[in-house]
């Protein structure tokens, strides 16, 4: 991937832990994102998955410049986003937008749908006032909502409809990149597929590059071109969605895939599952060597000493010292 649309290079986001009331002092560091490097093509959909607390939402917010990066770079179309500040950053924000997890909290309850969408258009894409209703109506219809509802407030819509409004708000400024942070996790299962199909359709029609964050690997499989699996602030496996889902290489990815239920009682009963013991270590006190070694059923002594790097194996990138040895 020589000409990447979005490139992350050794991106780190650390949070200091302080103690004391009058005299504050730093007593530790939470390594939420700890050295992530990847590239995305224009128009690609990347699924970012992992357990709660693995750093995937922090990574998404760091890409969006909602959180400052401790080190590393985020480069979009040759432009270093981590170096932008002030007015220059504000002007650039029309190129990248975010869809948040909870549509009940991400929309202002005191603003109508019209006001919410018009605000985005006014700030980033100034248009004449007489053209605003038509533009707002066009945005609503693009996400599957009737334009006649534009004067209603968020509480008058269902959860799925609110998330469609959030999608419309992100599309209002005609971005090139959207980060969707678990956009369907707060919705009913029957509505989730509608939002996933909507995002997939919009990505194809508008050429959007999409980072879809989720803890559910089965959801990501249906929308992503590639899947990146995160564990303790690092990417442990990255590859085509079908390959990662059907033939997971990293032990952690195998455990995630084996946890997905199969809608066939006989196959579900006979299949071999990889069940992990214990909880993920604290990102404030990550283990030495491979971050996954305290829970890995295939751990060896070298795993406790050496930190694995992402290496290309059979068309995907895997961070495991025993790759090729585990059958």
Q: What is the mean pLDDT of the chain?
A: 90
Region label for 197, one of left (φ > 0), alpha (ψ between -120 and 50) or beta (otherwise): alpha
pLDDT above 70 (res 327): no
Residue 262 is given by DSSP the state P
pLDDT above 90 (res 26): no
Structure tokens that stand for 18 in this block: 């302080």
Which residue is associated with the tokens 């050496």? 306
pLDDT at 265: 79
pLDDT at 165: 94
Residue 180 is given by DSSP the state E
Write down the H helix ranges in the chain: 56-63, 86-92, 103-106, 113-124, 132-142, 159-171, 189-206, 217-221, 241-246, 251-258, 265-270
pTM of the model: 0.91
Which residue is associated with the tokens 């995160």? 230
pLDDT tens column, 197-216: 999 999 999 999 999 999 88
Q: Span 14-30, mean pLDDT?
A: 88
Confidence of residue 21 (pLDDT cuts 50, 70, 90): confident
Three-state secondary structure call for residue 122 = helix
Confidence of residue 264 (pLDDT cuts 50, 70, 90): confident
pLDDT above 80 (res 270): no
pLDDT at 2: 47
Domains of the chain: 6-251 (3.40.50.300)
pLDDT at 261: 78
Among 115-129, 138-152, 155-169, which stretch is predicted with the lowest mean pLDDT?
Answer: 115-129
Structure tokens that stand for 152 in this block: 């209603």
Q: What percent of the chain has pLDDT over 70?
A: 99
Confidence of residue 96 (pLDDT cuts 50, 70, 90): very high
Confidence of residue 1 (pLDDT cuts 50, 70, 90): very low
DSSP string, 128-177: -GGGHHHHHHHHHHHTT--GGGTTS-GGGS-HHHHHHHHHHHHHTT--SE
Q: Span 146-175, mean pLDDT?
A: 93
Which residues, including other chains, have CB under 8 Å from residue 279's CB and lie 6 or more apart?
A: none
The answer to whether the CB of 89 falls within 8 A of the CB of 157 is no
Three-state secondary structure call for residue 244 = helix
Strands of the sheet with 209-214, listed across from one edge? 96-99, 177-181, 209-214, 45-49, 226-231, 234-240, 316-318, 311-313
* CA 298 – CA 302 distance, rounded (Å): 11
Q: Span 170-198, mean pLDDT?
A: 89
pLDDT above 90 (res 267): no
pLDDT above 80 (res 77): yes
pLDDT at 203: 92
pLDDT at 244: 92
């Amino acid at each position: 991937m020589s000409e990447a649309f979005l490139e992350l290079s050794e991106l780190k986001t650390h949070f200091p832990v302080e103690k004391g009331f009058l005299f504050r002092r730093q007593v530790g560091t939470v390594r939420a994102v700890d050295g992530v490097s990847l590239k995305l093509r224009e128009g690609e959909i990347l699924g970012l998955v992992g357990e709660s607390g693995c750093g995937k939402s922090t990574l998404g917010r760091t890409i969006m410049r909602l959180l400052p990066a401790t080190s590393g770079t985020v480069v979009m179309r040759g432009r270093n986003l981590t170096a932008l500040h002030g007015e220059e950053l504000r002007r650039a924000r029309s190129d990248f937008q975010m869809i948040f997890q909870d549509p009940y909290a991400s929309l202002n309850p005191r603003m109508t749908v019209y006001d919410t969408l018009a605000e985005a258009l006014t700030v980033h894409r100034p248009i004449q006032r007489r053209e605003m209703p038509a533009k707002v109506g066009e945005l609503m219809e693009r996400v599957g909502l009737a334009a006649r509802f534009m004067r209603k407030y968020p509480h008058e819509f269902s959860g799925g409809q609110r998330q469609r409004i959030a999608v419309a708000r992100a599309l209002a400024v005609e971005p090139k990149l959207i980060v969707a942070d678990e956009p369907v996790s707060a919705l009913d299962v029957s509505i989730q597929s509608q939002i996933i199909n909507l995002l997939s359709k919009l990505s194809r029609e508008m050429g959007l590059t999409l980072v879809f964050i989720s803890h559910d690997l089965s959801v990501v499989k249906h929308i992503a071109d590639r899947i990146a699996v995160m564990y303790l602030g690092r990417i442990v496996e990255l590859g085509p969605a079908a390959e990662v889902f059907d033939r997971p290489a990293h032990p952690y990815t195998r455990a995630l895939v084996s946890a997905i239920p199969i809608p066939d009682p006989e196959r579900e009963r006979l299949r071999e599952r990889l069940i992990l013991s214990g909880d993920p270590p604290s990102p404030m006190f990550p283990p030495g060597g491979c971050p996954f070694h305290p829970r890995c059923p295939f751990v060896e002594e070298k795993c406790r000493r050496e930190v694995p790097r992402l290496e290309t194996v059979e068309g995907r990138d895997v961070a495991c010292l025993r790759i090729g040895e585990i059958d």
